[in-house]
Homo-oligomer: A and B are copies of this chain.
Amino acid sequence: MSATATLLFSCPDQKGLVAKLANFIYSNGGNIIQADQHTDFSAQLFITRIEWQLDGFNLPRDVIEPAFSAIAAPMNATWQIHFSEVIPRMAIWVSKQDHCLLDLLWRQKAGELNGSVSLILSNHLDLKPIADQFGIDYYHIPITKDTKAQQELQQLELLQHHKINLVVLAKYMQVLSADFVEKFPCVINIHHSFLPAFAGANPYQRAYDRGVKIIGATAHYATPDLDEGPIIEQDVIRVTHRDDTKDLIRKGKDLERMVLARAVRSHLQHRVLVYGNRTVVFT
């Protein structure tokens, strides 16, 4: 497969947007291999994702963004262009539970994720053996109420130093400060409930207490408001009266790793566009 460029683009809806974007690509010799569009009529917003082959594209790599910028400016657009040979760099943050971490590492190794795992970070030492086994650097940064602010600075430095594009909270079990999220806004979290049901702590116990017949998991971008960020993916599984809290946790672990993996996969393929508190996930 030849190298491709992927445009994620949104702007106020108006006539001729598809034509203008397609013409930019065609007139420069590009071949569109996937294009998907959504118009949110209530927000009057046009949203698109276009992927085209760079083989035969006349613009040099470093000219593409400036050239496109000239076209996008009068449209009041928000946009990103990603090149397929630039592989995003992930940091996976964990606490003590291994299931999401292992699942992501397997999938990364199996080629399911368009990204590399540059580091694993944890407030505990429990999962260091897994990092060792996969040959990935493991940073142990314990967090207490008193040290949190200072530790977040260290975390930000790490992200910067390793040129991380995406932080995946794979059951990190710590709340990031509003300050942190502002400074590094590209964070995907997995919450072990079907949000907005059971936001906050102990969702499985509360799901059991409420007597629900289905449990869920939710992958979302982290925002300063805990469990309130834009949702990328959710899934559910049936439970019955035979399932106690321990069973809910066990069944939930399968949900968590599936849902998180799908969200991370979509994000790394540049298929997720956020606007307001919503996502468009182009499939």
Please list the residues of chain A having a beta carbon within 8 angstroms of any beta carbon in chain B: 14-20, 22-23, 25-27, 29-42, 56, 99, 102, 106, 110, 112, 133, 194-198, 209-214, 216, 230-236, 240-242, 244, 250, 253-254, 258, 277-281, 283
Cβ of A25 to closest chain B Cβ, rounded Å: 7
Given contacts A210-B277, A211-B277, A277-B211, contact A42 B244 (CB under 8 A): yes
Q: Which of B16, B18, B102, B234 interacts with A212 by CB under 8 Å?
A: B234
In the complex, which of the residues A37, A232, A233 has the most CB atoms of chain B within 10 Å of its own CB atom? A37
Cβ–Cβ < 8 Å partners of A40 in chain B: 241
Closest to A243 in B: B283
Cβ–Cβ < 8 Å partners of A212 in chain B: 195-196, 231, 234
Cβ–Cβ < 8 Å partners of A38 in chain B: 34, 241-242
Cβ of A261 to closest chain B Cβ, rounded Å: 8
* A211 and B278 contacting across the interface, CB-CB below 8 Å: yes
* A15 and B36 contacting across the interface, CB-CB below 8 Å: no
Closest to A279 in B: B211
Cβ–Cβ < 8 Å partners of A15 in chain B: 26, 29-31, 56
Cβ–Cβ < 8 Å partners of A112 in chain B: 250
- Stoichiometry (number of copies): 4
Given contacts A26-B18, A110-B99, contact A196 B214 (CB under 8 A): no
Closest to A27 in B: B19
* B279 and A241 contacting across the interface, CB-CB below 8 Å: yes
* A32 CA to B17 CA, complexed, in Å: 8
Given contacts A15-B31, A22-B19, contact A283 B197 (CB under 8 A): no
* A236 CA to B213 CA, complexed, in Å: 11
* B35 and A278 contacting across the interface, CB-CB below 8 Å: no
Cβ–Cβ < 8 Å partners of A250 in chain B: 112
* B33 and A36 contacting across the interface, CB-CB below 8 Å: no
* B197 and A213 contacting across the interface, CB-CB below 8 Å: no
* A187 CA to B96 CA, complexed, in Å: 35
Q: Which of B39, B102, B235, B253 interacts with A33 by CB under 8 Å?
A: B39
Q: Which of B198, B230, B277 interacts with A196 by CB under 8 Å?
A: B198
Cβ–Cβ < 8 Å partners of A244 in chain B: 41-42
* A233 and B213 contacting across the interface, CB-CB below 8 Å: yes
Q: What would 16 A/B residue contacts be, using CB atoms closer than 8 Å?
A: A14-B31, A15-B30, A20-B26, A32-B37, A34-B38, A35-B35, A110-B253, A133-B133, A194-B197, A194-B216, A195-B210, A197-B197, A211-B277, A214-B216, A236-B236, A240-B281
